[in-house]
Amino acid sequence: MIHWAKIDENNIVEMVVVAEVSENDTDGLIWCQDTFGGQWIRTSIDGSINKNYAGIGYLYREDLNGFIPPKEYESWILNEDTCNWHAPVEKPEGIGYSWDESTLSWNQYTV
């Protein structure tokens, strides 16, 4: 299966479709353009194409060759190698932590 992401004029993903027209990537791209119009970028569920699987609201950065998810917290920093956001403070090992943007720290929670 070949997945394609439609991006708007600001490179924001508007939709993602599966275009299994043939083994040829170009056929799927042409089908997307003819069916929906617009600009299309290939994506893959495992992130092997353009770093992350595209989702609605993701940004495509051609200079990084990748889809970037929406930024969850203002303080987080983009890792340009992975196109993923990371906290400015390393997360402690283990489970049960959530990010607190007001204190810029990880807080442990109990269940």
In this structure, are strands 97-100 and 77-79 parallel, antiparallel, or unpaired? unpaired
pLDDT at 23: 61
Residue 10 shares a structural domain with residue 62: yes
Query: pLDDT tens digits, residue range 63-72?
Result: 999 999 999 9
Shared-domain flag, residues 95 and 60: no
Residue of 70, 72, 19 whose CA lies nearest to 41: 19
* Total number of domains constituting the chain: 2
The answer to whether residues 59 and 35 belong to one domain is: yes
Banded pLDDT at 109 (limits 50, 70, 90): confident
Q: Residue 21's pLDDT band (boundaries 50, 70, 90)?
A: low
Q: Are residues 102 and 81 in the same domain?
A: yes
Same domain, 48 and 80: no
CA angle 6/9/12 to nearest 5° reads 55
Query: Is residue 66 located within the same domain as residue 78?
Result: no
Q: Are residues 64 and 42 in the same domain?
A: yes
Beta-carbon count within 10 A of 60 CB: 23
* Residue 105, domain extent: 71-111
Residues 28 and 48 in one domain: yes
- Give the mean model confidence (pLDDT) for residues 26-40: 93
Q: Specify the pTM.
A: 0.89
pLDDT at residue 22 greater than cutoff 80: no
